[in-house]
């Protein structure tokens, strides 16, 4: 089956998808993810999205205002943070407060969806798409808390938990590249940078037209390729830093084991280092 080479989704989010004429792409993606039709009213610019082609920042985010007055944060992150879940919480809470004017009743608080597309391993689980939401359940009856008829009219929701922010987490690296449904077709593009001709997910037809690499100008191709190169360089820097850190850790183990009168053969068993490597480490620290 033929696949088409597309531009990177984060590059598209920064430069193409904020244009009203191109809302159809993000509308399709969000409709597949939220399992209902999403129409975008506006997209807010983010100060965190730099336009410099030399920018090595790994974060891309946009704030979508849907036609039902709900807000959707879309954040794309390549490199991991241990506190990323707290960052998701902060972003959702900030969206709530930033879009609430003083003096208005709390019934005007807007529903927020936090959509997080991550390319690093976050948490431990056997899936690649997760949905988080508030759930008010009786401690004794184990039934869900339902809103009154009046509250349902005010909030446009039926259960209490639906009033609160919801979170979607897509762990792209965990996807096995087998598209089992239309949402998977989107995730296939997010992971591979390709869209197959037989994909039918909402928004992908417009994406094929708009995001095809061959449709870029020569200048745009240079900008896009520069961004990809920067990302590869950043990956290499991280791997190098990890490798250096790992080796320094092994050095410390070797030294401590030697000071505890462990033999070189025993140290080799603990560290998987050869006898020659262990000897060099000890000599470098004047321990042999």
> What span, in angstroms and rounded, lies between the C-alpha atoms of 8 and 225?
10
How many angstroms separate the CA atoms of 72 and 183, rounded?
17
CA separation (Å) from 96 to 46, 93, 108, 250? Answer: 16, 5, 10, 47
Paired tokens of 242: 């990890």
Give the Cα separation of 157 and 135 in Å (integer). 13
Strand, helix or coil for residue 28: helix
The predicted structure's pLDDT at residue 114: 97
Per-residue pLDDT, 262: 84
The predicted structure's pLDDT at residue 101: 84
Phi and psi for 174 in degrees, rounded to 5?
-85, -10
Q: How far apart are CA 113 and CA 110, in angstroms?
A: 10
CA pair distance 169, 219, nearest whole angstrom: 34
Strands 194-196 and 129-132: unpaired
Question: For 73, left (φ over 0), alpha (ψ -120 to 50), or beta?
Answer: beta
Write out the two tokens for 56.
């090595």
Distances (CA, A) of 127 to 4, 25, 114, 123, 170: 27, 25, 18, 11, 9
Q: Which residue has the tokens 């990302």?
A: 231
Residue 132 forms beta bridges with which residues? 167
- pTM summary value: 0.75
Find out whether 272 and 281 touch, Cβ atoms under 8 Å: no
> Which parts of the chain register pLDDT below 50?
47-57, 242
Q: What pLDDT, on a 0 to 100 scale, did the predictor assign at position 116? A: 96
């Amino acid at each position: 089956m033929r696949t088409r080479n597309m531009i990177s989704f984060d590059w598209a989010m920064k430069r193409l998808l904020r244009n009203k004429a191109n809302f159809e792409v993000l509308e399709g993606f969000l409709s597949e993810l939220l399992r209902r039709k999403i129409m975008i009213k506006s997209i807010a610019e983010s100060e965190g999205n730099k336009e410099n082609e030399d920018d090595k920042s790994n974060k891309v985010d946009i704030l979508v205002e849907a036609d039902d007055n709900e807000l959707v944060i879309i954040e794309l992150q390549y490199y991991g943070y241990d506190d990323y879940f707290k960052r998701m919480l902060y972003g959702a809470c900030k969206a709530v407060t930033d879009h609430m004017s003083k003096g208005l009743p709390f019934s005007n608080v807007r529903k927020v969806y936090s959509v997080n597309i991550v390319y690093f391993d976050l948490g431990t689980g056997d899936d690649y798409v997760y949905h988080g939401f508030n759930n008010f359940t009786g401690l004794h009856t184990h039934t869900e808390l339902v809103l009154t008829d009046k509250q349902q009219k005010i909030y446009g929701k039926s259960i209490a938990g639906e009033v609160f922010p919801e979170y979607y987490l897509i762990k792209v690296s965990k996807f096995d590249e087998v598209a089992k449904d239309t949402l998977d077709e989107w995730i296939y593009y997010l992971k591979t940078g390709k869209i197959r001709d037989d994909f039918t997910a909402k928004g992908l037809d417009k994406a094929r037209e708009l995001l095809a690499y061959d449709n870029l100008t020569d200048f745009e191709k240079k900008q896009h390729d520069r961004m990809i190169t920067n990302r590869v360089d950043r990956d290499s820097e991280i791997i190098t830093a990890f490798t250096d850190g790992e080796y320094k850790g092994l050095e410390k183990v070797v030294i401590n084991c030697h000071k505890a009168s462990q033999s070189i053969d025993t140290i080799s068993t603990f560290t998987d280092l050869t006898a020659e490597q262990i000897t060099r480490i000890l000599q470098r620290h004047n321990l042999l």
